Structure 1
Amino acid sequence: MLVQQISVFLENKSGRLAEVTKTLAENNIDICALSIADTTDFGILRLIVNKPKEAEAALSKNEFTVSCTDVIAIAVEDKPGGLARALEVLQNNSISIEYMYAFVGKFGNEAFVIIRAENPEAALETIKSCDIKIVPSDKIYCK
Structure 2
Amino acid sequence: MIVKQLSVFLENKEGRLCDAIETLSSNGINISALSLADSTEYGMLRMLVSDPESGVKVLKAAGIPAKLTDVICLKAAHKTGALSRILKAFMGKGIAIEYMYAFAAGENASVVMKTSDTEKAIEVIKESDIEAWEAETIYNINA
% identical equivalent positions: 41
Q: Secondary structure at the match of 2:91?
A: helix
Match of 2:37 in 1: 37
- Aligned equivalents of 2:83 and 2:45: distance in 1? 23
Structure 2 counterparts to residues 88-127 of structure 1, below 5 A: 88-104=88-104, 106-108=105-107, 110-127=108-125
- Pair 1:53 & 2:53 matched: yes
Q: Secondary structure at the match of 1:133?
A: coil
- In the alignment of these two chains, the number of paired residues is 141
Deviations 1:55-86 (A, max 9, x none): 00000000011110100010011111110000
- Aligned equivalents of 2:94 and 2:106: distance in 1? 29
Match of 2:134 in 1: 136
Q: CA deviation at 1:93?
A: 2.1
RMSD between aligned residues:
0.9
- Aligned equivalents of 1:14 and 1:91: distance in 2? 41
Q: Secondary structure at the match of 1:123?
A: helix
CA contact (8 A) 1:128 1:134 kept: no
Structure 2 residues without counterparts, runs of 5 or longer: none
- Aligned equivalents of 1:78 and 1:13: distance in 2? 36
TM-score by length of 2: 0.96
**Deviating 4+ runs (over 6 angstroms):** none
Q: CA deviation at 1:94?
A: 2.6
